[in-house]
Structure 1
Amino acid sequence: MAAVVIGGVGVDAARHVRTGAQWPLAALPLLFAGHTLVEAFVWWGLRGDVSGRVQTVATVLYLIFAFLVLPVYVPVTVLVLEHVPRHRPIEIITLVAGVICAAGLAVALISKPFTARPEGHHIVYHVHLHAGPVIIALYLVSTCGALIVSGRRFLRWFGVFNLAAVALLAWVATEAVTSLWCAWAAVTSMAVAAYLRSAGPADVDYAPQS
């Protein structure tokens, strides 16, 4: 049900795209809708409603999007939208951080077993990380920092709220951050749709420099 609602939000966001540069941002709600649907199959597998093989595939797909796609996709989205040349160097740094982070997480997924288990109303994903604190820091730099350093007001606030959300979730349920934060990010898809519907390409604080 949640995936259907988020997918509807994604369709609305896509309908209000005004420039080609907005497409990566507009696609986020649709990507989160797919991500939410994939986690539904993880839930069903844990409950025994689908086969163990289906659950395993769903878990792999869920972690690939959360760990490998998002750390790269978010900085690329910001770079595509950015019109302020002086912001680009630091945004490129966040992209490099995302690529390094995704590479480290890919190694973790390939080299060690990973698990998913239900805990209350969320799923705990356990992955054996090499240099865990470094990977986590790179993940935050790429997924939240890239937004915070943007020249666009909406993206900066989007990054601040996402960073606050992940900090709160880590405090409440450290092991469940992967599942809960992705659920939060899906909810914020409504903010993306609202931004594209109202502000459009004009939401930038600084004039481009030649």
Structure 2
Amino acid sequence: MCWSATADLVAGAGVTAVGVACVARVRRVRDLPLAALPLLLGAHQIVEAMVWDAGGGDGPATVAWAVIALPVLAVWVPAGVWCAAPQRTRRGLGCVLAVGVATAAGLAYGLAVGPVTAEIRWHTIGYATDLSHPTLLVVGYLLATVGSLLLSGDRRLLVLGIFVAAGAPACWALWRLEFVSTWCAFAAVCSVLLLGWVRDRPAPR
């Protein structure tokens, strides 16, 4: 999320460009899902530019934004980490992935049966949906996304996980205060860190 439609478009284009570079540098097929994450994040910001242009509401762009932000990322991140991880850490990551799948199922059900709305609030957009057991879903979401990075067994992904764990609360606080949304800058930094991870990955033997 950015503070305007223009900012979302510019940031989305930049993050997508980083995603293209990540995918182009992949040398192992199993690294592809995680390397493609910036493409998803860039598309997510471009979708939000459409939410800005629509003035919020409950239209298709709002629903698409929520689907990517909630169930898709809850599965994509742990699945990507599991694919790229060394064999010794895959069993533990498989449990984390299972949590992500269960969490995504709960999130998807909530989005399917309840309304999803967006409201322009100064330099931010507030999203609202009716989810049952929200605390449990938040815990599952964080375990699946942040937890998978911290348990990856990869030094660069560990750094990314620490950055996400530290930076996300700050972005969330600024967003909740309706001061300015910094999620787009956060996504850009994460994407650059993933590009560094892709570049440092050893070539397959």
Per the shorter chain, which TM-score range?
A: 0.7 to 0.9
The question of 1:70 aligning with 2:73 is answered yes
Q: What pairs up with 1:32-43 in 2 under 5 angstroms?
A: 32-43=41-52
In the TM superposition, what whole-angstrom CA distance separates every residue of 1:38-91 from its partner, at most 9, and x where no partner exists? Answer: 1110010017xxxx7xx7111111111111111111111111111132x22221
Alignment TM-score, normalising by the size of structure 1: 0.83
Q: Which amino acid aligns with 2:52?
A: W
- In the TM superposition, residue 175 of structure 1 has moved relative to its aligned partner by 8.1
Partner of 1:137: 139
Partner of 1:127: 129
- In the TM superposition, residue 20 of structure 1 has moved relative to its aligned partner by 0.9
Root-mean-square deviation over aligned CA pairs: 2.1
- In the TM superposition, residue 181 of structure 1 has moved relative to its aligned partner by 4.4
Partner of 2:53: 44
In the TM superposition, what whole-angstrom CA distance separates every residue of 1:130-185 from its partner, at most 9, and x where no partner exists? Answer: 11110000000001001101110111111111111222233444487xx7546623
- In the TM superposition, residue 115 of structure 1 has moved relative to its aligned partner by 1.1
Tell whether the 8 Å contact from 1:66 to 1:182 is kept in structure 2 after alignment.
no
Give the Cα separation in 2 of the matches to 1:172 and 1:144.
Answer: 20
Structure 2: where are the runs of 5+ without partners?
A: 1-9
The question of 1:16 aligning with 2:25 is answered yes
Distance 1:97 1:163, change over 3 A: same
Give the Cα separation in 2 of the matches to 1:36 and 1:93.
Answer: 30
Give the Cα separation in 2 of the matches to 1:117 and 1:187.
Answer: 26
Give the Cα separation in 2 of the matches to 1:75 and 1:180.
Answer: 24
Tell whether the 8 Å contact from 1:116 to 1:125 is kept in structure 2 after alignment.
yes
Identical positions, percent: 37
Tell whether the 8 Å contact from 2:118 to 2:126 is kept in structure 1 after alignment.
yes
Alignment TM-score, normalising by the size of structure 2: 0.85
Q: What pairs up with 1:15-164 in 2 under 5 angstroms?
A: 15-46=24-55, 56-85=59-88, 87-164=89-166
Aligned length: 192
Give the Cα separation in 2 of the matches to 1:143 and 1:155.
Answer: 12
Partner of 1:3: 12
Structure 1: where are the runs of 5+ without partners?
A: 203-210
